[in-house]
Amino acid sequence: MSDASDAVAEVAVALGTRWLGRAHRHHAETGSTNDDAAAWAAAGAPHGALVTADEQHAGRGRLGRTWHSPAGSHVYASVVLRPTTADARWSALGLAVGVGLRDGLRDGALGAGVDLGLKWPNDLLVGDRKLAGILCEARWIGGAPQIVVGFGINVRRQAWPAELRARAITLEEATGAAHRPADVLVAVLEALEPVLDEFGARGFAGLRERYESACVSLGRVVRVSEADGRATEVFAAALDHDGALLVRDPGASRLRRVEAGELLMP
């Protein structure tokens, strides 16, 4: 592959996957790869179709947050998934994607020597700084789900905006070595495909131990903002079979489930 923006446009040629990323559309710049993937899905994109970009002008994360997306520096990618069943297992898809991304980064760019943790439900951290994030968006076409999974990975060293300097990190900063976005993308897609195959066959239960062993949110007191607007300090104990967070409130003896929310860790 050439070195121009590290030839993300050519990743399909280098991929060793069976179905993930075999159909690929690349944009030099775009608003959001998730929006592009959703539009392609509506027009008939196949299962595993991949959209990438060198730059996003309207990249976003969970809860409507902006994803910093400068040109040629990082991985911006979205994948179309077409589940054959519409059961509840897909609510934990973002957790499964986290496992796959972590595998790809540790086996490829990072190596096992860098401590890469999973923060429930959608972030990958080096120490307490964010390296990658995941955004899953589902639409229903008749009775079948159509899912777009977007992920961003910070690759090249950069001058961060003031509000991100203490909270974000790149692969180059974490390893002290330069990395090509295209190579990083190939590594994570090749690791993600078997994880998605396992998730589709067995749900999150088959991946729970792998997620829990890397989850930096567990075994500590965290502050959780839940879907109903409550914000409380709880002890994060474990994950349930479907990826829900099991927490214990102060003074309580029983665990309760948190199915969606945002965690702040001291």
- Residue from 20, 36, 170, 16 nearest 97 by CA: 20
Q: Mind listing the pLDDT tens digit of every residue in the chain (266 residues)?
A: 444 345 888 898 889 999 999 999 999 999 999 999 999 999 999 999 999 999 888 655 444 555 555 666 789 999 999 987 766 678 899 999 999 999 999 987 676 667 899 999 999 999 999 999 999 998 877 777 789 999 999 998 776 676 776 788 999 999 988 889 999 999 999 999 999 999 999 999 999 999 999 999 999 999 998 777 778 899 999 999 999 999 999 989 999 999 888 888 76
Q: Which residues contact 204 (CB under 8 A, 6 or more apart)?
A: 89, 92, 95, 96, 211, 239, 241, 242, 243
255: helix, strand or coil: coil
Q: Among 2.40.50.100, 2.30.30.100, 1.10.30.50, 3.30.2320.50, name the CATH number for the domain at 217-264.
A: 2.30.30.100
Instruction: Write down the domain spans for the chain.
Output: 4-212, 217-264
CA distances 258 to 39, 121, 122, 232, 239, Å, are: 32, 11, 14, 12, 9
**CA atoms within a 13 Å half-sphere pointing along the CA-CB vector of 8:** 27
Handedness of CA 259, 261, 118, 182 (dihedral sign): positive
Which letter does DSSP use for residue 99 in this model? Answer: H
Identity at 43, one-letter amino acid code: A
Domain 4-212 has CATH 3.30.930.10: yes
Task: Please name the helix (run of DSSP H) or strand (run of DSSP E) that holds residue 24, with its range, or none.
Answer: strand 24-27
The pTM assigned to this predicted structure is 0.90
